[in-house]
Amino acid sequence: MSVENLIKMANQIGQYFSTESDHALAVHGVQQHLQNFWTPAMRRDLKAWHADHPGTELHALVQAALTETAQA
């Protein structure tokens, strides 16, 4: 799957969880979704892209989910 598609899907997940008023719960929701529904290769590719492009294109909740302790 292309990284562009992974970014688009990850941002949709981030947007969905952005309605959660508790930031920690929102980040955890993104992490859980990535863990439960994405393949290890998809998660690995998104993390690798994010490591090379920090702070760009990804929803803030997705960025947090990729960098905080309980990573997806």
pTM of the model: 0.90
pLDDT tens by residue, 14-49: 999 999 999 999 999 999 999 999 999 999 999 999
Q: Please, what is the Cα angle at 42 between 28 and 15, to 5 degrees? A: 45
- Percent of all residues in the chain with a pLDDT value above 90, rounded to a whole number: 86
What pLDDT sits at residue 48?
94
What pLDDT sits at residue 21?
97
Average the pLDDT over 55-71 and give the result: 85
**Is 71's pLDDT higher than 50?**
no
On whether the CB atoms of residues 63 and 50 are closer than 8 A, the answer is: yes
